[in-house]
A and B are shown apart, each in its own frame.
Chain A
Amino acid sequence: MENNLEQAFQAKIDREEKIEPKDWMPEAYRKTLIRQISQHAHSEIVGMLPEGNWITRAPSLRRKVALMAKVQDEAGHGLYLYSACETLGINRDTLYEQLHDGTAKYSSIFNYPTLTWADIGAIGWLVDGAAIMNQVPLCRCSYGPYARAMVRVCKEESFHQRQGFEILLTLSKGSDEQKNMLQDAVNRWWWPSVMMFGPSDKDSPHTARSMNWKIKRFTNDELRQKFVDVCYEQAKVLNVKLPDEDIKWNEERGHYDFGAIDWDEFWQVVKGNGPCNKQRVAARKKAWDDGAWVREAALAHSNKRSERLKNKKVA
């Protein structure tokens, strides 16, 4: 019986039909999706913190409204994704708990600090750029609610990357000090962005299964390569150097070769030892705890109101 269901499920996926919340699905498919979607949602939410750090210090009103709109979008992305995740039968508070107690992960990139204004530009260009690379194929993910959420997210992302690039472009035409600031930000954000695509294919044992289920359409290394190829050309417009001595065009492959990734650093940050891991989770928990009375009061207020309404009807 289970076998038949599983075959029918896979056949449906092979026909490019979407799986919807009430459809039968293997437990492993459900679990994989909960892990991936919640991790994605948490990344959007925690991702607001490094950028929020610069809202009050944005150099002009134009930059400030744009950054606020971007950060608000990221909150929205988190909410689309949490609601997609909940269709798999897990509730919102449980998801938050998993973020707060460290059971669930979020993208390691957000554990790096935003030291200068140029970092905001670099995040838009590289971090949102890498996210877009990752998210576009997810619009065709086999799980309907996730795919639909990603369509909305992708529509909004391109403004994020463009506003970041514009910040950097302005700096690239500025004083020496501004140019140095730009190069310094790119130096610090480049490698963590390259790592955003996750462990290399030979170290991600679940890739094949996720590809089979059409949750993933490209492997981590394939996406990473695309990202490097695109960024190399874009860096020329900014007149910056990517901090990689080994990056060069490979005629035969039709791609840029690039230097070795420091996987030690990657795993250290994943395990919680990045520059800002503690600070990020602490800020997130504080916001949650400080808001507890608001959530309780709103619920109490609404309960009281519906109680009153009921009594009125009885009388």
Chain B
Amino acid sequence: MDNNWPLWEVFIRSKSGLHHKHVGSLHAVDAEMAIQNARDVYTRRSEGVSIWVVASSNITASNPENGEALFDPANDKVYRHPTFYNLPDELKHI
């Protein structure tokens, strides 16, 4: 019988006002235990004010092989950046 406890991904908000950030993973039988373990493993020195845990099996990730197809089109849309627009230096506050 497979006794491996399921794997959980752990996300921590380091202080209020910031995003939760992925910090690693751990094993636990359920979400509640995952939170408790995450506290012990990833926040022993007050590294966080909030924890999210997500069962790793619930995460769908993009495939690195499709990286080009997904992200390259953005490269030739320079007009999405403010520096694309030519304006005189004397113009202020813009």
Contacts and interface: CB of A to CB of B under 8 A. Distances in A.
Contacts of B23: 152
B55 to A, nearest CB: 12
A23 B63 CA distance: 8
Interface of B: 3-5, 7, 23-27, 29-30, 33, 40-41, 44-45, 61, 63-65
A296 B3 contact: yes
A124 B23 CA distance: 27
A79 B29 contact: no
B65 to A, nearest CB: 8
Nearest to A301: B29
Contacts of A91: 4
Contacts of B41: 76, 79-80
Contacts of A22: 61, 63-64
Contacts of B4: 91-93
19 contacts: A20-B64, A22-B61, A22-B63, A22-B64, A72-B44, A73-B44, A79-B26, A80-B24, A83-B25, A84-B24, A86-B25, A87-B25, A93-B3, A145-B24, A296-B3, A298-B29, A299-B29, A301-B29, A302-B29
A149 interface: yes
A79 B5 CA distance: 14
Contact of A149 (B24, B30, B45): B24
Interface in A257-315: 295-296, 298-299, 301-302, 305-306
Given A22-B63, A72-B44, A76-B40, 9 more contacts: A22-B64, A69-B44, A73-B44, A80-B24, A83-B24, A83-B26, A87-B25, A145-B24, A302-B30
Interface string A104-116: 0000000000000
A92 B41 CA distance: 16
Q: How large is the interface on A (under 10, 10 to 19, 20 to 34, 35 or more residues)?
A: 20 to 34
Contacts of A24: 64-65
A84 B25 CA distance: 8
Contacts of B63: 22
Contacts of A299: 3, 5, 29
A184 to B, nearest CB: 33
A298 B3 contact: no
Contacts of A93: 3-4
Nearest to A81: B24
A295 B25 contact: no
Interface in A214-234: none
A295 B3 contact: yes
B30 A305 contact: yes
Given A92-B27, A149-B24, A298-B29, A86 B64 contact: no
A73 to B, nearest CB: 7
Contacts of A145: 24
Nearest to A22: B64
A23 B45 CA distance: 32
Contacts of B25: 83, 86-87
